[in-house]
């Protein structure tokens, strides 16, 4: 039985990836801190908490992490842990950059110095591209990160590439564009929109407050995206892959679609607050997943409207579960 070690296992992608790997017959290990142990709701919600093993470990302590990696000796490592909020990264740039870079290097260095045969997945991000000149974005597109988070992800990406090229490690980088689900934390704008829309449909008189609704993003469905992570590590050679839908939609369109699913007009329930505009932001970005489709066999066929409706339906079920009636 193969062993997979997941950092960030308590997050959205970690929970869905755990379920996917368990269904593939893996033994799934989650590297967690004491804080992570208090954040187990996602693992419970997808029904995997009792089927995985949580092990203590500190990604910022290289010596202890190396010892833990020597004990565990996983076949595959999925590095998903990060301070992953773009907005938060502007508030805590030092913490964001320090953790996201050092955690990546400590894992890679542990694998290298222990000479482990583990295959390594690095969670890169579409945010690395920033203000690109040519669209759609492809693997070879030039990075122009515009946030501390994006900068940290670009550094982690190049660390994985360097350890592959310099030391021969099997390192793959998944450049995932925005991917959503009911497990998104409440500070993510898609979750903020969908959860507010559902609460309003249930009688709440609140107003939804948003920033720049003209930004356009490439949004997909998280459970489908985590499959690509596994596919990358099954290839003969490691590489980078863009995972996207190849379509861009505005935040305005997202909000309108979410409220429309509930027969509501989003503009009647929304206030635009310019203080929520980011210091620097990406106006438009979308990716080309042709390489992933052709080489990995990864397919994505959910339309934008289907995605939004799925998110609304999942949120309705979630709110009904925690607050019936």
Could you give the maximum distance between any two Cα atoms of the chain, in Å?
Answer: 59
Domain-by-domain residue ranges, the chain? 3-179+219-243, 182-217+247-284+303-322
Q: Does pLDDT of 320 surpass 70?
A: yes
Catalytically active residues are 125, 127, 149
CATH class of 182-217+247-284+303-322: alpha beta
Q: What is residue 311's predicted lDDT score, i.e. its pLDDT?
A: 98
Q: What is residue 153's predicted lDDT score, i.e. its pLDDT?
A: 98
Q: What is residue 215's predicted lDDT score, i.e. its pLDDT?
A: 93
Q: What is residue 324's predicted lDDT score, i.e. its pLDDT?
A: 77
**Beta-carbon-side half-sphere exposure of residue 13 (alpha carbons within 13 Å):** 26
- Residue 274's pLDDT band, with cuts at 50, 70 and 90, is confident
Which of the residue ranges 269-273, 296-300, 306-310 would you say has the lowest mean pLDDT?
A: 269-273
pLDDT digits (tens, 9 = 90+) for 104-123: 999 999 999 999 999 999 99
67/110 Cα distance (integer angstroms): 8
315/108 Cα distance (integer angstroms): 37
Residues whose CB is less than 8 angstroms from the CB of residue 260 and which lie 6 or more positions away in sequence, other chains included: 266
Q: What is residue 84's predicted lDDT score, i.e. its pLDDT?
A: 84
Q: What is residue 35's predicted lDDT score, i.e. its pLDDT?
A: 64
Q: What is residue 80's predicted lDDT score, i.e. its pLDDT?
A: 98
The verdict on pTM exceeding 0.85 is yes
CATH 3.30.70.141 correct for 3-179+219-243: no
Q: What is residue 133's predicted lDDT score, i.e. its pLDDT?
A: 86
pLDDT digits (tens, 9 = 90+) for 9-67: 999 999 999 999 999 999 999 999 876 666 899 999 999 999 999 999 999 999 999 99
pLDDT digits (tens, 9 = 90+) for 235-265: 999 999 999 999 999 999 999 999 999 999 9
pLDDT digits (tens, 9 = 90+) for 123-178: 999 999 998 889 999 999 999 999 999 999 999 999 999 999 999 999 999 999 99
């Amino acid at each position: 039985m193969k062993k997979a070690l997941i950092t960030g296992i308590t997050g959205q992608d970690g929970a869905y990836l755990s379920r996917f790997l368990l269904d593939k017959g893996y033994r799934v290990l989650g590297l967690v801190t004491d804080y992570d142990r208090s954040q187990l709701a996602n693992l419970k919600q997808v029904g995997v908490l009792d089927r995985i093993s949580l092990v203590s470990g500190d990604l910022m302590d290289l010596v202890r992490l190396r010892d833990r990696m020597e004990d565990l000796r996983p076949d595959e490592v999925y590095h998903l842990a990060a301070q992953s909020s773009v907005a938060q990264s502007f508030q805590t740039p030092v913490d964001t950059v320090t953790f996201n870079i050092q955690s990546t290097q400590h894992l890679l260095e542990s694998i290298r110095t222990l000479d482990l045969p583990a295959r390594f997945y690095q969670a890169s991000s579409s945010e690395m591209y920033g203000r690109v000149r040519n669209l759609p974005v492809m693997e070879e597109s030039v990075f122009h990160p515009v946030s501390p988070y994006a900068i940290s992800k670009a550094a982690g990406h190049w660390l994985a590439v360097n350890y592959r090229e310099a030391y021969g490690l099997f390192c793959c980088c998944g450049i995932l564009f925005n991917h959503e689900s009911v497990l998104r934390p409440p500070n993510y704008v898609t979750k903020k929109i969908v959860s507010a829309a559902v609460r309003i449909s249930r009688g709440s008189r609140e107003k939804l407050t948003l920033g720049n609704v003209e930004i356009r993003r490439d949004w997909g469905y998280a459970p489908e995206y985590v499959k690509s992570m596994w596919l990358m590590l099954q290839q003969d050679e490691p590489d980078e892959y863009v995972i996207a839908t190849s379509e861009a939609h505005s935040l305005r369109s997202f909000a309108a679609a979410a409220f429309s699913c509930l027969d509501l007009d989003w503009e009647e329930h929304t206030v635009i607050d310019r203080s929520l505009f980011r210091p620097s932001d990406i106006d438009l970005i979308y990716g080309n997943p042709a390489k992933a489709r052709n080489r990995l066999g990864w397919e994505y066929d959910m339309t934008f409207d289907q995605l939004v409706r799925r998110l609304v339906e999942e949120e309705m079920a979630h709110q009904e579960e925690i607050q019936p009636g």
